[in-house]
Structure 1
Amino acid sequence: MTKQQSGATVAQPKHFLLAGYVGGINVGDETLTAAVAAHISRHYSSNITIASGQPALSQTYIGNSYNYVEAYYPGQPLNTKGLLNLVRAIRQADIIVFVGGGLLQDAHSTKLIQHCAFIASVAKVMNKPVMSFGIGAGPIKSAQGVKLSNLFLHANDVLYCRDSYSVEYIQQHLAPQPDTIKQGYDSIFLQGQQPADTARQKVVGLCYRHWPGLEQSTLLRLTQQLIDNEYAVVFMPYEKSDIALYHSLKQQFGDKIQLSTEQNIAATLGTISALHGLISMRLHANLLAILAGVPCVALSYDPKLSSVLASVGYGQNVLPLSASAEEILHLLQHPPAATQQHLLQQAIAQNAGCFSDAINLSLARQTPFSAVRKVALTAYWYRSLVLAPATRRVAVAIAPVFNKLLPGSLKAWIRRKLGFNW
């Protein structure tokens, strides 16, 4: 894998707008956002604004060195003033950068793809360059997800995927613009390797999430075996929903398992670098452990784990989600020898070059949208984000009266049009 050379000489951007699944709050996505923002700060004379669903939380986690603007995902849609503020931030930017993560998927809903497609297409309506970096793709199961993903792809001047699986998924299931999809690495590698903590304690981090195929009995058995082997155990939630798993373990093991409560990027990096080992379903927790030289066992619930870790020489650290407690503990205690350490160094060295090339390519191309398409996109987003929510609010308000008066066939038609059980 070699970095792409654009050969273009262009004026460097001064004002970056960073977007993605920011403000979820998902520790992995906040961490890679911090990595991209810090990299830009080190290498460009720039002003950085971060679009976040919860700006106050992102500011606490990522830091006060950047500006923040509220994005409409996650959470409720923004009001008209909020949307105008977001559009104003897009207009003021010299370039829009999607910071990475699994943006092209609808495992839970199409809201994330919609959010990204909105920002990217509004940027194109305003003739702004758009690039995406470290992107993961798949699965996309709905027709709406495919439609929004293609809109997002068409608004990108260049898109670097984090692994070969994502490149192949886009090429096979979507319709990208010609010669815009490149293969690079995960955005987290922009931060480079972290200094090892020489005072590591015998502490193992558990980073689990609810997922089909995760056996609670295996998690309980593994935790018991860790305790029997005199490890201290710390549970590391990456989303709020993960805490339910911690409480189930806490009920069983009491004070023998603790909860990690880091509130900022420095604390997260410090906790991981001090671990004796990590057992994680979360991609970015594993990558942070690798960058800190901490032995990790990655439990694969999605092809991204195997694909991304193999690309940096850590494919042998991956086990299926169905692995037994004994298999997990054995791999943790007997980590495979790093026979392809050069792949990690290559990822760190080349990723910075890929990022620079992505900026140059997007600035040089700046693929324009036609006037007709700009009008159509403006109408589409106004209907989707302003008119449709307003219509639903009115429908809910009048439902108690009209539900009693309208025939069933007409109510069924209204339900289809509104998209919910009116």
Structure 2
Amino acid sequence: MSQVVLCGYYGYGNAGDEALLATLLEQLPPHVSPVVLSGNPAATAARYGVATCDRHHWPKVLRTLQQSQAFIWGGGSLIQDVTSWRSPLYYLGLMTLAQRFGCRTIAWAQGIGPVRSPLYRWWTRAVLRRCLAVTVRDSGSAALLRQWGIPHQQGADPVWLLSARPVEPPQEKRAIAVCLRPHRYLTGDRWQLLKTALRRWQEETGVLLWLLPFQSQQDLPLAEYLHKTLLPERTKVITCEDPRQLKGILATAAGAIAMRLHALIMAASVGCRCFALSYDPKVSYLMADTGMAGVELGALPPDPTALIQQWQETFSAPIPDYQPYLQSAAIHKAVLNLL
């Protein structure tokens, strides 16, 4: 058995990053023994049954790297300096250490950029050139790596292939899942517009809405506040931390209105019609790559009626054929056989 360190934004209750970890663990070759760097090692070990290491305990992290044969940047937008300069410093530093210790390294299912700092751009190019393999999950990242001259493969996000765990009892198939997150774009008039449109849609059609927080610390207060605004008898807050169960819940929904990338991917992969509210380039890339219906959050129509009409059209249209994206996502699994 070879020991492989898995590094990502794991153990922080973000369902999207947990979905990436769950998918990666499902796809690892049988001869690999993973150790997950986690912000909550006990919770990660209990949920997935794997060895873990506290990502902030540097003596343990260094010993783990020295004892390992491979290192995987495990998916997501790890290398970007828009939200924080500390994040790329941490991940680039770990990849550099792993390479110095002789680990085979893979950048797996990455969303690269935006990288504004010249130092981080140089550092990212340097570590990626030393990787055994590099895969990206969207056309924007692929274009950036082509510009940098970095060999890579592009495939759909691996969470398209995450297994779903059935929920008991089965949920109502008529519901629309709503997955919102706090963001600077979702303030003032835009927030009021969304609330008004959702409530009016319920009043006019009787639609049942499930509010699904994908990161409880951020999303749950928003979902609970929205629940008070909508029709209580036609609205339900559903909390779940296991990404496989979340996917099982979405499999029983009729559709999804979501800001979070992996809420959209999970829903689409189980046959839901989806409407994206894009707050980030990664969501816009998904819309562009798949033709998924949606709107940029910063460009919402001013009239709730126009938004309701878009939802009605989306959720009455035929279910899109997403099979090509399920096939494309297998590219990320294939490179793991290099381990």
Give the TM-score taking structure 2 as reference length.
0.85
From 163, 168, 179, the equivalent of 1:207 is: 179
Say whether the 8 Å CA contact 1:299–1:319 is kept in structure 2. yes
What is the aligned partner in structure 2 of residue 36 from structure 1? 24
Cα offset, 1:329, TM superposition = 1.9
When residues 347 and 288 of structure 1 are mapped into structure 2, their CA distance, relative to the original with a 3 A threshold, is same
Q: Give 1:178-197 correspondences, 5 Å limit.
A: 179-191=150-162
Report SS of the residue matched to 2:83. coil
Per-residue deviation, residues 311-350 of structure 1 (Å, max 9, x unmatched) = 4xx3142332233432442244223553x544234324x4
Per-residue deviation, residues 379-398 of structure 1 (Å, max 9, x unmatched) = xxxxxxxxxxxxxxxxxxxx
Tell me the distance in 2 between the aligned counterparts of 1:196 and 1:164.
Answer: 34
When residues 64 and 161 of structure 1 are mapped into structure 2, their CA distance, relative to the original with a 3 A threshold, is closer
What is the aligned partner in structure 2 of residue 307 from structure 1? 285
Report SS of the residue matched to 1:298. strand
Q: Is 1:248 aligned with 2:225? A: yes
* Amino acid aligned to 1:347: S
Q: Give 1:98-247 correspondences, 5 Å limit.
A: 98-143=73-118, 145-150=120-125, 152-172=127-147, 175=148, 179-191=150-162, 200-214=172-186, 215-228=190-203, 229-239=205-215, 240-247=217-224
Per-residue deviation, residues 22-81 of structure 1 (Å, max 9, x unmatched) = 1222110011110110111xx423322111122233345xx2421111112xxxxxxxxx
Q: Which has the larger radius of gyration?
A: 1
When residues 153 and 307 of structure 1 are mapped into structure 2, their CA distance, relative to the original with a 3 A threshold, is same
Report SS of the residue matched to 2:247. helix
Q: Is 1:347 aligned with 2:328? A: yes
Give the TM-score taking structure 1 as reference length.
0.70
Counting matched residue pairs gives 326
Per-residue deviation, residues 366-419 of structure 1 (Å, max 9, x unmatched) = xxxxxxxxxxxxxxxxxxxxxxxxxxxxxxxxxxxxxxxxxxxxxxxxxxxxxx
Report SS of the residue matched to 2:78. strand
When residues 112 and 327 of structure 1 are mapped into structure 2, their CA distance, relative to the original with a 3 A threshold, is farther
Tell me the distance in 2 between the aligned counterparts of 1:151 and 1:288.
Answer: 33
Tell me the distance in 1 between the aligned counterparts of 2:23 and 2:155.
Answer: 15
RMSD: 2.7
Cα offset, 1:199, TM superposition = 6.2
Say whether the 8 Å CA contact 1:55–1:68 is kept in structure 2. yes
Say whether the 8 Å CA contact 1:131–1:158 is kept in structure 2. yes
What is the aligned partner in structure 2 of residue 391 from structure 1? none
From 309, 319, 332, the equivalent of 2:295 is: 319
What is the aligned partner in structure 2 of residue 266 from structure 1? 244
Per-residue deviation, residues 211-256 of structure 1 (Å, max 9, x unmatched) = 3433102220232034222222222222222233224313323734
What is the aligned partner in structure 2 of residue 67 from structure 1? 51
Tell me the distance in 2 between the aligned counterparts of 1:179 and 1:157.
Answer: 12
Cα offset, 1:162, TM superposition = 0.5
What is the aligned partner in structure 2 of residue 20 from structure 1? 8
When residues 25 and 342 of structure 1 are mapped into structure 2, their CA distance, relative to the original with a 3 A threshold, is closer
What is the aligned partner in structure 2 of residue 382 from structure 1? none
Tell me the distance in 2 between the aligned counterparts of 1:145 and 1:258.
Answer: 43
Cα offset, 1:101, TM superposition = 0.7
Report SS of the residue matched to 2:277. strand
When residues 341 and 247 of structure 1 are mapped into structure 2, their CA distance, relative to the original with a 3 A threshold, is closer
Gaps of 5+ in 1: 1-12, 73-81, 364-422
What is the aligned partner in structure 2 of residue 52 from structure 1? 38
